[in-house]
Every structure is written in structure tokens, then in C-alpha cells.
Amino acid sequence: MNNLLKEKEVCSILNISRTTLWRLKKIGLPSLKVRDSYRYDLAVVKNWMTSEQTRIYMPSKTLTNEDGLKNLNGTERIQNTYLISFEYLIQHNIKHLEKIFSKRNIEDLKNRLNTYSLDGLNNQHIVRIFSQEYLKIVRENYLLSSNNQELDLKLNNFINKEKNKIKVVWGDSYNFLKKLESESIQLMVTSPPYYNARDYSQWDNIEKYLNDMRKIIKESYRVLDNHRIWVFNVGDIFDNDNMVTNSVWGKKRIPLGAYFIRIFEEEGFEFVDDIIWDKGEVESKRHMNNGINYPLYQYPLNCYEHILIFHKHRLDKVKIPCPICGSLNVNGNTQSEIGVQSWECKNNKCFLRSPNNRGKRFSLRTNTMQYYHNNDAENLIEKSILKKWRRDIVEFPPVIKINHKGENTLGHTAPFPNDIPLMAIKYFSYVGEKILDPFAGSFTTPIVAKKFNRIGIGVEINKDLFRNSILRNFKSNFSNQLENSIYSEFDL
């Protein structure tokens, strides 16, 4: 603040009563206390007097538009300039807060805000902190109503502590997900077992397999944070479904990708994309048909896999603060996407209003993208990654598992290459967030997550089979770190 004036001076220059000034102060007009009296910034007081909401306090003859809001033409936006504080945001929003929060919630919000020092904070910081603390309480209330009975505090504690370590969970991923707090994971990345493709995961028939997968997908919808993403890599296989065909001769093409899209949609996810992974050379010779180059002898190559992208959009009609001014005086707009509630700021004192005086339009999703995270270097996606993935068909080699002596060098027979989790993590998560692979295999996803300063969590059922090779993987990927700072384990 500059140009600070005493109460009497402000009132006489602006020709307003002391009551008017005090009313403005009560709704948040900033002032500086000097001994027993208050000082005000003339320009700030003027601005406070020129918006719709405060007009009631001012005598009609004093100010014209030119003193405060300029009459704008063209594309210029209306900008209110005044200083806000947490107390102001609480007071401004009190009606709404009392409607959706308990008294304890409101006290809690005030206490949380009180822990911040206002030093060096500008309006934008204050709005962001207020919004985040408000949303935390909204979230806690939601969790109280949505968490299931099986929530396991010990497990959730294991997941949430020691943010620099990979979390290794041994057990069945459905069993794991059931015990996890709702909306506590920011990204899921996986490649599930491809039905009976490997000896260590087997099902009687395709129906049973898909039912098991559906249970996991359903539970993961609850566990995934709202407006977040699951990247799901799966191949269309050649096998016996043991339903339509059930003889050893009955192998057929089984379009797992198509089946999974349907299941994800039925469990509430939005299908967003199917990126085709072109794996290059075909490993088998089956499609060559012994060189018989005649009609109907030709068979599929199967040298691609799907990288399916799904969004979770749980429609949430709880109001969220305007990201510009922190007001909860917002009206529901249309849903910008199915399940994504949009809002429009109705606060006439909002810092940013359009030329025709409409407020900011926003949603939880756009706020997450534009305001709640630092869009700075650490979250910037490298040009090389964008270039590689800005296409529908992406070519990169599968992991070579067999060395020239015919030995499996990785200890796991179905790892996916780094490329997939790398893209998923860079594209769909921020530094510090929790990333879960419910079929972790050789832990490729959690390893990449840790490398890029996210928290990698993996669940794997075959502990006996894979533990040694997984630990070896950790050591070779983080050779400069002490073993006990790389990962920690949990048995379900």
C-alpha cells in the first residue's frame, strides 16, 4: 500500500461517511492499523466503492465510472484492484460455507488458514491457498461418506509416508484397492495379465478373467482421484477362450482391447483414446503360412498393442471457489464435458471480468490444470516426448527379454518398455503425485515414477517368483542410492 491516509481524510476526499468506510472494512477493505487508528489507500478504497456489491454503501454523487472501473470497449477486461485477505474470503463466502460445512468445518478452515503468514503473499497466492484448504475439507467430507468399511489405516499410512520411496505391495490388487482410501491416487498405469498368456496367471475361461478384471476396474474408479487418468496397455491375443471355442484346436483372436473399453465404460470411465503401439517386427512365423501365398491362407500378424486412455469424471456439484478472486458466489454452468461441472464467477468485484462484464468460467479440471499446480520447469513435458506421442500409432521396440544364449535376462516374462509409463507419467501427472500400477510385474511403472519425482506404488501377486529380480531392478536403476532409501515393502 502506498499513499496512506487517515480515516477522516479519506472520508472528506471521497465525500463518504465513516459508517460507509467501516462497512467496507467489515467486508474486507484492507487497512493498516497505526496505533489506535487505521490508514487507507485512497485508490484501493475507490476501487472498493465502484463495484456492484459495494455500490449500496456509497452516495450516488461521489464517484463516476471513470474513477474506478473504466468504461471499457474492445477486448480490454475489467480489472478490479484491491487487496484481499483470508478473513475477507471467509466473510465474503460465509453464507455458502455455512450452507455446506458444519461449524467445526468452518473453524477448521479458519485454523488452517491461520497457519499461513501473509508476508509476501499476493492476491493470487491467497486465493490459491484458500481454494486448496477449502477443497481439502470438501474432500474430507466426501471421504467420510464414500470410504468403504474395509479401509485399512495401516496400509494407507504405508502408502502416504516416506514420499521418496517406491511402495512395493505384495498381494492381490483387488484386495489392495478395497483397502485404499477413495480418490487417493492421481494416475494409474498398467499392463494387466493378458488372460492366459503366462503360466503364472491363469483363468478357466475368458468370462472369469474379464469378471476379475472388472472387479479391479470398478474399485479403481473409486480409488482414482477425480478428473484423473488410467493408462491401460493391453494386446489382442490369440488363445482359446474356453467359452465359444474350447478344444485345443480352438485358438482364436480375442480382442481384449475392445472388451476392456466396454468394461471401463460400464464402470463409469470415459474412453478417451486408443494409441496403437506398433511393435515392429513380428516374433512368430504363424502368419507366413509356410509360404502358401493364396487366398484365405492369410492370418493376422498381431504386432501391435493398445494403449488405452480413460478419464474418471465424477460429477461433483459442490461449488468451488473462483480461481481468480476466491469467491464462492458462482453459478453452475453447463458441464464442459460429461461429468465435469463448470462454474461462472458472479462476484462483481472479481479481479477479472470480461468486456461485457461476465465472470470467469472454470471447472475443477481447468483449475487443476491452470491454477492449483505450478506450471513450471519440473512439470514441463519435453519436446522429444511430445513429438514421439503426438500420433495415433507410435513405434518403439518391445523389451528384449532373451539374450543370445536363450536366457531370460529380466526375470519377468511380460514387462512393458519404459516408454509407456514415461509417457503416462509426463502427460498425466505432476511432480509429487501418487502413481499406481496394480499389476506391477517388474515394477517398470514405479521405477519411472521415482525417477521423475513421483511416488510409485506397485502391487504384484507373485512375490516368490519375482521378488529377487524386482529388487535387482531397483538396485540397477538407483545404483547411487542406499538400498533402504529406494523402496519399502508391505504384505497384504
Ligand X SMILES: C[S@@+](CC[C@H](N)C(=O)[O-])C[C@H]1O[C@@H](n2cnc3c(N)ncnc32)[C@H](O)[C@@H]1O
Instruction: Pick one of 69, 322, 364, 414: the residue that binds Zn ion (CB under 5 A).
Output: 322
Residue 242 binds: one of ligand X, Zn ion, none (C-beta under 5 to 8 A by kind): none
Residue 439 in the binding site for ligand X (CB under 6 A): yes
Is 414 a binding residue for ligand X by CB under 6 A? The answer is: yes
Interface size with Zn ion, residues (CB under 5 A): 7
Beta-carbon-side half-sphere exposure of residue 64 (alpha carbons within 13 Å)? 2
Min dist. Cβ of residue 473 to Zn ion (A): 49
- Residues near 122 by Cβ (< 8 Å), separated by ≥ 6? none
**Candidates 32-40, 159-167, 377-385, 455-463 — which segment interacts with ligand X by CB under 6 A?**
455-463
As a whole number of angstroms, the distance between CA 385 and CA 427 comes to 9
Interaction of residue 173 with ligand X, rule CB under 6 A: yes
For the chain, the first-to-last Cα distance in angstroms comes to 58
Residues 173-202 that bind Zn ion (CB under 5 A): none
The entry of Zn ion, ligand X, none near residue 462 (CB within 5 to 8 angstroms by kind) is ligand X
CB of 278 to Zn ion, least distance (A): 47
List C-alpha distances in Å: 372 to 68, 96, 224, 324, 341.
30, 22, 18, 12, 17
350 belongs to the binding site for Zn ion (CB under 5 A):
yes
**Alpha helix positions (H), 180-233:** 206-223
Question: For residue 417, which of 445, 446, 454, 387 has the smallest C-alpha distance?
Answer: 445
Segment 117 to 156, residues that bind ligand X, using CB under 6 A? none
Task: Extract the C-alpha cell encoding 401.
Answer: 527379454
In this chain, which stretch among 22-30, 40-48, 49-57, 460-468 interacts with ligand X, using CB under 6 A?
460-468
Tell me whether residue 113 or residue 254 sits nearer to ligand X (CB atom): 254
Which residue's CB is nearer to Zn ion, number 322 or number 470? Answer: 322
| Binding piece for Zn ion, criterion CB under 5 A, among 344-352, 385-393, 397-405, 450-458 | 344-352
Residues 384 and 374: their CA atoms lie apart, in Å, by: 21
- Please, what is the minimum distance in Å from the beta carbon of residue 237 to ligand X? 11
Pick from Zn ion, ligand X, none: which does 446 bind, CB < 5 to 8 A by kind? none
Q: Nearer to ligand X by C-beta: 200 or 297? A: 200
Residue with cell 462483481: 348
- Least distance between ligand X and beta carbon 173 (Å): 4
**Distances in Å between the alpha carbon of 194 and those of 124, 241, 277, 279, 382?**
48, 12, 16, 16, 31
Cβ-contact 231, 252 below 8 angstroms: no
- From the list 158-166, 299-307, 324-332, 441-449, the region that binds ligand X by CB under 6 A is 441-449
- Nearest CA among 400, 206, 236 for reference residue 308: 236
- Using only C-alpha atoms, the chain has a radius of gyration, in whole angstroms, of 29
Query: Which residue from 86, 235, 460, 474 is in contact with ligand X, where contact means CB under 6 A?
Result: 460
Q: Are 328 and 96 in contact (CB under 8 A)?
A: yes
How many angstroms separate the CA atoms of 66 and 64, rounded?
A: 5
Among ligand X, Zn ion, none, residue 196 binds (CB under 5-8 Å by kind): none
Contact window for ligand X (CB under 6 A) among 31-39, 192-200, 238-246, 296-304:
192-200
Nearest to 439 by CA among 212, 223, 173, 218: 173
User: Rule CB under 6 A: is residue 81 a binding residue for ligand X?
Assistant: no
Least distance in angstroms from the C-beta of 118 to Zn ion: 20
Give the binding range for ligand X (CB under 6 A) out of 92-100, 327-335, 362-370, 459-467. Answer: 459-467
**Measured at the alpha carbon of residue 235, what is the angle toward residues 230 and 238, in degrees to the nearest 5?**
150
With a CB cutoff of 8 Å and minimum separation 6, the contacts of 347 are 53, 92, 322, 325, 327, 329, 330, 359
Under the binding rule (CB under 6 A), the answer on residue 459 touching ligand X is yes
Q: Does 412 bind ligand X (CB under 6 A)?
A: yes
Which of 7, 172, 274, 344 lies at the binding interface for ligand X (CB under 6 A)? 172
Q: Toward ligand X, which CB reaches closer, 371 or 490?
A: 490
**Contact mark string toward ligand X, 194..213, x via CB under 6 A:** ------xx------------
Which single residue brings its beta carbon nearest to ligand X?
441
Q: What share of the chain is helix, strand, coil (3-state, %, to 5)?
A: 40, 20, 45
Which segments of 267-328 does DSSP mark as H helices, in order?
Answer: none
Helix (DSSP H) and strand (DSSP E) numbers for the chain: 16, 17
Site residues for ligand X per CB under 6 A: 172-173, 191-193, 200-201, 412, 414-416, 439, 441-442, 444, 459-462
Site residues for Zn ion per CB under 5 A: 322, 324-325, 327, 345, 347, 350
